[in-house]
């Protein structure tokens, strides 16, 4: 029997191998993928988020848990696809033009995947043109922009302006984040949402997908 | 006039030279470069405490040897004394003597890591970029010890991957160096990381103006008592904002 409580623990403790092993055993035993995800994996990530919020966990722990979540999701993907279960949404993500710092972006990307989103990671130093091209070819629901430097923050504004010019702005939600980024800046440049940290970014993306715009502070 | 200069230790040599030449009496307190790695909010809180400790009985203004620094200076409030701060995103612009020059260089030379005397000799054990709540700059061994072999290696790779995007290391030469040792060290670092080495002359103009009391609006923000520093998200970098009721520092 798969020890499902261990699945939760493995994700919380960032043990990718153990998480994948439990999932594989559970699949072999015929456990429904959605039951695993909803009853064990998502609650585990919620607990990780809680620990991060109250500063019991920091970025390394988040990275390890997100990685364990991805490892647990991997064997479930084909099953989810074959049963016609759609991802929570499609997110394009990248650090903006001029910004090469991708730790935060990678973390958000992992957590979004763990949260059931399909994530298309465009990498770092992504020009507005590349975001537009990818938005057109993938039909993404959300574009997530990251910047670590105040020097590169204006690239967020230019990317949103370019989306407007390309006639795509109404079709996608834009969310922004990164150490120096603020809600005030998000409001100023007309982004649909800002998240102070990676775990809240998943909640933000879910809220936007459900059509509820984030209340501006 | 008597000023209190609160400065990042990264600017140690440049500030000391400027203070020595200032017509004013400048008391200086250098703070750890490590503040940079705490993130904007924690850095702001630490700086606010230092600003608050300066008495109007002894000084005429508080000078900040900082730039916006990842929003670390955003929200700092001038209490009884005015605060003066150069308009720049970070110390690289200060070392170059102009935020316009920095912007041009940044645009023309993507993927450049900068070094100066302060960056080379101060806070070496610290990481240059914030990595959240970790001990910044943890080595591979530290991470393995804490998180185990497999997870430790994974984290190290995640935390250092951004370095693969860098291609150049540029030494900003202040002209105050005793000899070629700093440049040599920068050159060695570039070679070790496999980056192209370059050197540009620094410019101490902003440091001199700051401690000389020469604060043209174009390059400096003077925050009157009761107001605070705010990021302006435009070419002026920072602006004055009246304090918000009930808001902590």
Q: Do A148 and B129 touch (CB under 8 A)?
A: yes
Query: Nearest-CA residue of chain A relative to B73?
Result: A180
Nearest CA in chain B to A56: B133
CB atoms within 10 A of CB A188: 13
Categorize the per-residue pLDDT at B38 as very low, low, confident or very high, splitting at 50, 70 and 90: confident
CA neighbours closer than 13 Å in the CB half-sphere of residue A65: 29
Tell me the nearest-neighbour CA distance from A63 into chain B, angstroms: 8
Any A CB within 8 A of B140 CB: no
Angle of CA points B194, B195, B197, to nearest 5°: 130
In this structure, are strands B61-65 and A173-177 parallel, antiparallel, or unpaired?
A: unpaired
Burial label for A162, CB within 10 Å (0-12, 13-18, 19+), is: middle
Strand partners, A144: A93, A175
Q: Which of chain B's residues have a Cβ under 8 Å away from the Cβ of A176?
A: none
Write out pLDDT tens, residues A61-107.
999 999 999 999 999 989 988 888 888 999 999 999 999 888 889 99
Decide if A176 touches B, using CB distance below 8 A.
no
Find the residue in A nearest to B67 (Cα).
Answer: A150
Place of tokens 């990676």: A198
Q: What is the DSSP string of A31-44?
A: --HHHHIIIIIHHH
Q: Which range has highest mean pLDDT (B3-7, B108-112, B133-137)?
A: B3-7
pLDDT recorded at residue B243: 67
C-alpha distance from B40 to closest chain A C-alpha (Å): 7
Residue B89 to residue A150, Cβ atoms within 8 A: yes
Q: Do A60 and B143 make contact, defined as CB atoms within 8 angstroms?
A: yes
pTM of the model: 0.82
Note the helical H segments in B10-139.
12-21, 40-52, 91-96, 99-108, 117-121
Interface test with A, best of B36, B42, B113, B151 (most A CBs within 10 A): B151
* Alpha carbons B41 and B90: distance in angstroms, whole number: 16
Confidence label for B128 from pLDDT (cuts 50, 70 and 90): very low
How high is the pLDDT of residue B42?
84
Nearest to A63 by CA among B3, B97, B161: B161
Interchain contact A94–B (C-beta under 8 A): no
pLDDT > 90 in chain A, percent: 74
Of A14, A150, A179, nearest to B39 by CB-CB distance is: A179
Cross-chain residue pair A63–B155, CB shorter than 8 Å: yes
| Residue A213 reports pLDDT greater than 60 | no
B82 contact A CB<8A = no
* Residue B247 forms contact with A (CB below 8 Å): no
Binary contact (A148, B133; C-beta < 8 A): no
pLDDT at B198: 97
The answer to whether B131 contacts chain A (CB < 8 Å) is: yes
CA distances from B133 to A54, A109, A216, B71, B124 (A): 12, 19, 27, 17, 18
Evaluate whether A97 touches B171 at the Cβ level (below 8 Å): no
The DSSP code sequence of B124-152 is TTS-SS--TTS-TT--HHHHHHHH-HHHH
In the sheet with A90-95, reading across from the earlier edge strand, the strands are A118-121, A90-95, A142-146, A173-177, A193-194
C-alpha distances in Å from residue B211, one per residue of A60, B61, B85 = 41, 10, 11
C-alpha–C-alpha distance, residues A30 and B159, integer Å: 38
pLDDT for A217? 39
Contact between A124 and B162 using a beta-carbon 8 Å cutoff: yes
Determine, for residues B154 and A153 on separate chains, whether the beta-carbon distance falls below 8 Å: no
CA distance B7 to chain A (A): 20
Cβ distance B130 to A98 less than 8 Å, yes or no, reads no
Q: What is the pLDDT, as a whole number, of residue A211?
A: 78
Pairing of strands B168-173, B25-31: unpaired
Q: How many CB atoms lie within 10 A of CB B184?
A: 12
Q: Map out the domains of chain A with their CATH numbers.
A: 4-82 (1.10.1240.10), 90-209 (3.40.50.280)
Residue B246 burial (CB < 10 Å; 0-12/13-18/19+)? exposed
d(CA B124, nearest CA chain A) in Å: 20
Phi, psi of B50 (to 5 degrees): -70, -40
B162·A153 Cβ contact <8 A? no
Phi/psi region, residue B39 (left: phi>0; alpha: psi -120 to 50; beta: rest), is left
Q: Is the Cβ pair B231, A182 closer than 8 Å? A: yes
Average pLDDT in chain B: 90
Distance CA(A93)–CA(A106), nearest Å, equals 9
For residue B223, the surrounding DSSP H or E stretch is: strand B220-223
Using 50, 70 and 90 to split pLDDT, how confident is the model at A215?
very low
Is B243 or B196 the better-scoring residue by pLDDT? B196
Instruction: Say yes or no for a CB contact (<8 Å) between B166 and A100.
Output: yes
Instruction: Report residue B205 as tokens.
Output: 């103009």
How many Cβ pairs within 8 Å bridge chains A and B?
92
Q: Do residues A23 and B99 make contact, with C-beta atoms less than 8 angstroms apart?
A: no
A190 touches chain B (CB under 8 A): no
**Mean pLDDT of the A30-57 span:** 92
Q: How many angstroms separate the CA atoms of B8 and B66, rounded?
A: 6
What is the tens place of the pLDDT at every residue in A131-181?
999 999 999 999 999 999 888 999 999 999 999 999 999 999 999 999 889
Instruction: Provide the pairing of β-strand B238-241 with B228-231.
Output: antiparallel
Angstrom distance (rounded) from CA A26 to CA A12: 18
């Amino acid at each position: 029997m798969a020890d499902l409580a261990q699945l939760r623990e493995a994700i919380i403790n960032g043990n990718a191998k153990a998480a994948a092993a439990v999932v594989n055993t559970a699949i072999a035993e015929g456990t429904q993928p959605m039951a695993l995800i909803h009853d064990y994996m998502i609650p585990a990530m919620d607990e990780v988020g809680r620990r991060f919020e109250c500063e019991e966990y920091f970025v390394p722990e988040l990275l390890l848990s997100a990685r364990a979540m991805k490892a647990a999701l991997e064997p479930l993907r084909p099953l989810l696809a074959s049963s016609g279960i759609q991802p929570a949404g499609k997110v394009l993500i990248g650090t903006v033009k001029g910004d090469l710092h991708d730790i935060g972006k990678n973390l958000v990307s992992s957590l979004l995947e763990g949260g059931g989103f399909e994530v298309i990671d465009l990498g770092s130093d992504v020009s507005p043109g590349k975001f537009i091209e990818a938005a057109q070819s993938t039909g993404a629901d959300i574009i997530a922009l990251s910047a670590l430097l105040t020097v590169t923050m204006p690239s967020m504004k230019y990317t949103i302006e370019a989306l407007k010019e390309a006639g795509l702005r109404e079709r996608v939600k834009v969310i922004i984040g990164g150490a120096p980024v603020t809600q005030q800046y998000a409001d100023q440049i007309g982004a649909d949402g800002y998240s102070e940290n990676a775990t809240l970014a998943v909640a933000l993306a879910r809220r936007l997908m459900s059509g509820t715009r984030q209340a501006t502070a | 006039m008597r000023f209190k200069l609160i400065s990042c230790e990264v600017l140690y040599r440049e500030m000391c030279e400027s203070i020595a030449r200032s017509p004013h009496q400048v008391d200086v307190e250098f703070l750890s470069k490590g503040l940079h790695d705490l993130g904007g909010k924690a850095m702001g809180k630490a700086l606010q405490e230092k600003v608050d400790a300066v008495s109007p009985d002894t000084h005429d203004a508080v000078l900040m040897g900082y730039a916006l620094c990842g929003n670390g200076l955003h929200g700092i409030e001038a209490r009884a004394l005015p605060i003066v701060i150069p308009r720049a995103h970070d110390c690289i612009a200060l070392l170059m003597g102009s935020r316009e020059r920095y912007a041009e260089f940044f645009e023309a030379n993507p993927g450049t890591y900068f070094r100066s005397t302060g960056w080379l000799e101060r806070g070496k054990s610290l990481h240059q970029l914030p990595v959240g709540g970790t001990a910044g700059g943890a080595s591979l061994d530290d991470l393995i010890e804490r998180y185990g072999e497999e997870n430790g290696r994974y984290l190290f790779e995640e935390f250092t991957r951004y370095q693969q995007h860098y291609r150049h290391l540029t030494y900003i030469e202040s002209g105050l160096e005793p000899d070629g040792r700093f440049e040599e060290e920068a050159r060695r670092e570039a070679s070790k990381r496999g980056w192209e080495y370059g050197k540009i002359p620094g410019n101490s103009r902003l440091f001199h103006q700051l401690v000389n009391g020469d604060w043209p609006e174009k390059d400096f923000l003077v925050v009157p008592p009761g107001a605070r520093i705010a990021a302006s998200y435009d070419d002026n970098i920072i602006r004055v904002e009246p304090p918000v009721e009930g808001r902590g520092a």
